[in-house]
Amino acid sequence: MNYPAFFDQLPVITLHDPLAEFLGASEEGVLEYRYLDAVKLAGHSCPTVAAAWNMSRLALAALYEAELPCRGDIRVELRGRHDEGVTGVVANVVSLLTGAAGEGGFKGLGGRFRRQGLLQFAAAVPRELRFTRLDSGRWVDIACNIGVILADPAMPQLLQRCLSGEADAAARRRFGELWQARVRCLLLEHGDDPEVFALSIGNRDS
């Protein structure tokens, strides 16, 4: 599979999944996720997929600090409805990384490893997403201001030409390059920028 080189420059998200360990899917339950995994899940790379990936990365780091994040032990609340805008796309990427699932999720084994009901929509949270550790109640609210990352001025015209079928192969290739350049800028140049990715941290009683 050929893909943009910057995908491999992005941090790997490493987690511990007790269910994966219990069922023998991974030695010691350690799982590694790369941005390419999110791209394969979504079927494309775009600012929304990239934002969901990076918000998850930052939230997990803030929740667990020096610890390995525990996949399946995190509740995720989304401010948007499941059918609102790009909320569903964001939820899919977040679910991939955290294990949190909606009503169709895994129900657990013997009262353990339940993921069903850990992904909630239309939540009364102040930012786009809230990640909460089930064991400690520590939470992270996070949002991404994608609008700060401006698209190349040539993009609108190229997009229209591509959608109308008027673009030749070179123009279509150029559109893809400019599209991924914006994703690259978001993740590599602004991945830790608090002006783009704003977050706050609290505890159960705060």
**How many Å apart are CA 189 and CA 197, to the nearest integer?**
12
Which position has the token pair 């013997």? Answer: 110
Residue 204: pLDDT band with limits 50, 70, 90: confident
- Check whether 187 has a pLDDT greater than 70: yes
Could you tell me if 139 and 155 lie in one domain? no
The pTM assigned to this predicted structure is 0.95
Structural domain for 163, as ranges: 150-189
Number of domains in the chain: 2
- Check whether 206 has a pLDDT greater than 70: no
Q: What is the pLDDT of residues 35-91, one digit of tens each?
A: 999 999 999 999 999 999 999 999 999 999 999 999 999 999 999 999 999 999 999
Could you tell me if 133 and 161 lie in one domain? no
Could you tell me if 53 and 140 lie in one domain? yes
**How many Å apart are CA 125 and CA 200, to the nearest integer?**
12
Could you tell me if 88 and 159 lie in one domain? no
Average confidence score pLDDT of the chain: 96
Could you tell me if 169 and 185 lie in one domain? yes
> CA dist 195 to 27, 131, 149, 168, Å?
39, 20, 11, 38
Question: What is residue 14's predicted lDDT score, i.e. its pLDDT?
Answer: 98
- Write the Ramachandran bin of 133: left for phi over 0, alpha for psi from -120 to 50, otherwise beta: beta
Could you tell me if 55 and 108 lie in one domain? yes
CB 32 within 8 A of CB 38: no
Could you tell me if 127 and 163 lie in one domain? no
